[in-house]
Amino acid sequence: NYWGYNTIGFFAPHNAYSGAGQRGGQVAEFKGMVRTLHEAGIEVILDVVYNHTAEGNHLGPTLSFRGIDNSSYYRLMDDDPRYYMDYTGTGNSLNVRHPHSLQLIMDSLRYWVTEMHVDGFRFDLASTLARELHDVDKLSAFFDLVHQDPIVSQVKLIAEPWDIGDGGYQVGNFPPLWTEWNGKYRDTVRDFWRGEPGTIGEFSARLTGSSDLYEHSGRRPAASINFVTAHDGFTLTDLVSYNEKHNEANGEDNNDGESHNRSWNCGAEGPTDDHDILALRARQRRNFLATLFLSQGVPMMLYGDELGRTKNGNNNTYCQDNELTWIDWSAVDDELIEFTASLVELRRAHPTFRRRRFFDGRPVRRGEGELLPDIVWLTPIGDVMTQEDWGSGFGKSVAVFLNGLGISSTDTRGERITDDSFLMCFNGHDAAIKFILPPTEYAGSWQIVVDTSLTADDEEAYAAGDALPLPGRSLVVLRKLA
């Protein structure tokens, strides 16, 4: 298990990742790594696996917990305790209902914060940790202990909000303090850009922070960890290059890994020398990256996606310590790196794209301008979206106005934050569409700051009412000039 997801010691850094070459050297090396990253202004989030161990099912090895106190540390079948409940797909599930298991987890979390100085945790298959009898419970003992703990409650808590058991998919249902991998964001954004009909409504919700998932529990856009790709599944390049997984190298007859990937190969499976297909794939990668970095919430990008990394269609490389998972620095896509860096800089420079509160649609008056809401959804012809427009099953294009004067948060001096206003136009059709820029109350003139088709003139100013052609499957972002 190259990724280290089959744990047996919750306090020990994996020595195979260490270059120290001596027993225990990985501890000092880990601390040094964290210190160096902190000096560079980079936080460290530790991916922790408390839902199962490497002891596996009833046929697995006895390494520690099984031999110490099997029934306390593991969830056993009620009707035959020889066998293990398996909510994780690994053969066993840790018994988080038992106080000793809970103490072990909490002691481990505190250790990694106080001794190793990590800044937070991503909890693998976190739904398993919240199961009481069988169901996932927001009032579980695990959540209660985390929320009461003076150390653990103060760091970043990120849930992978699902497991493989009944009722395990819990996106949007974790309690306050918790952020979540937003699996619905991933699925919806993939569907929109591969041209699935009837996705505009949910796409708009995911783009604006998923208030339908997180606002009801008092959480804010930062609760949504937005992602399109992760270590599980395709890389970004493979997402636009393969319709099917190709996991033959894993030795399981291609039966492992997710089969429903919501991917689209743009016209050919895998490598091709077709210029049009390659151009479309490159545009699709830019579409995904631009959508990710300009969505409300917290963007998470898979390592190497900005470089064009491929795993040759393998979507389950946990067992591959070779070229499939390594980065080939000699084959990086410099244009993609530059495009990604420009998105990061745009997001960093403009709080419009990283609001601390959800949009509310209320009109905003600042100065002498027209009264406009903090967000307005528009059709390609520049009209405000109606319920009929939202309900259209075939519509695949939409624009959204983000009012830079409608940010309700304040800065460190207590002054209200203001920013430029932006217009984002999305064309999910395979054919070109002309977007009519909205009337002068929105802006008198606009300038393009992002164009995933790379065809527009970013020096040109566009006036209200102008027709802006968008090629099929592309997006543009325009900044208000006046």
With tokens 């202990």, the residue in question is: 145
- Residue type at position 430: D
Please report whether residue 234 resides in a domain: yes
- What does the pLDDT read at residue 453? 98
Same domain, yes or no, for 139 and 34?
A: yes
Per-residue model confidence (pLDDT) at position 17? 86
Q: Which of 160, 187, 374, 451 is catalytic?
A: 160
Q: Mean per-residue pLDDT for 39-56?
A: 97
Does one domain contain both 207 and 75? yes
In a domain, 84, yes or no: yes
Query: What's the maximum distance between 2 C-alpha atoms anywhere in the chain?
Result: 75
What pLDDT is recorded for position 23? 86
- Asked whether residue 9 is assigned to any structural domain, the reply reads no
In-domain check, residue 35: yes
Bridge partner residues of 156 (DSSP): 120
Please tell me whether residues 169 and 38 are part of one structural domain. yes
Condensed to tens digits (0 to 9), the pLDDT of residues 382-402 reads 999 999 999 887 889 999 999
The residue type found at 5 is Y
Residue 242 has pLDDT above 80, yes or no: yes
Active site residue 80: no
- Specify whether 265 is located in the same domain as 399: no
The per-residue pLDDT for 469 is 96
Contact, 389 vs 190, CB < 8 A?
no
Q: Give the end of a domain, one of 295, 318, 349.
A: 349
Kindly state the percentage of the chain with pLDDT values over 70. Answer: 99
Asked whether residue 115 falls in the same domain as residue 202, the answer is yes
User: Does 157 fall in a domain?
Assistant: yes
3-state secondary structure of 148: helix
The pLDDT tens digits of the residues spanning 196-238 come to 999 999 999 999 999 999 999 999 999 999 999 999 999 999 9
Residue 459: active-site member: no
> Which of residues 349, 383, 405 is at a domain's end?
349
The domain spanning residue 198 has which CATH number? Answer: 3.20.20.80
| Residue that is last in its domain, among 320, 349, 378 | 349
Q: How far apart are CA 213 and CA 205, in angstroms?
A: 9
- Co-location of 196 and 143 in the same domain: yes
Nearest to 51 by CA among 75, 72, 77, 69: 75
Is the same domain home to 277 and 408?
no
Question: Given pLDDT bands bounded at 50, 70 and 90, which one contains residue 106?
Answer: very high
- Answer yes or no: do 299 and 377 share one domain: no
Asked if residue 60 and residue 185 are part of one domain, the reply reads: yes
pTM of the model: 0.96
Residue 235 lies in a domain: yes
CATH number at residue 432: 2.60.40.1180
pLDDT of the residue at 134: 86
Q: How many domains does the chain have?
A: 2
Instruction: Let me know the angle formed at the C-alpha of 431 by 473 and 189, rounded to the nearest 5 degrees.
Output: 25
* Those residues with Cβ within 8 angstroms of residue 263's Cβ, 6 or more apart along the chain or in another chain: 190, 194, 234, 238, 239, 240, 242, 243
pLDDT at 368: 62
Together in a domain, 256 and 118: yes
| Catalytically annotated residue among 29, 124, 163, 306 | 124
DSSP state of 304: T
Domain that holds residue 41: 15-349
Look at residue 369 and tell me whether its pLDDT is greater than 70: no
> Burial, 198: exposed, middle or buried (Cβ in 10 Å; 0-12, 13-18, 19+)?
middle
In this prediction, residue 139 has a pLDDT band, given cuts at 50, 70 and 90, of confident
pLDDT in tens, 341-366: 999 999 999 999 999 999 999 988 66
Let me know whether 308 and 187 are in one domain: yes
Residue 82 lies in a domain: yes
pLDDT digits 0-9 by tens, 24-40: 899 999 999 999 999 99
Q: How confident is the model at residue 367 (pLDDT cuts 50, 70, 90)?
A: low
Is residue 139 domain-shared with residue 270, that is, in the same domain?
yes
- Evaluate whether residue 10 is within a structural domain: no
Residue 21 — pLDDT band, cuts 50, 70, 90? Answer: confident
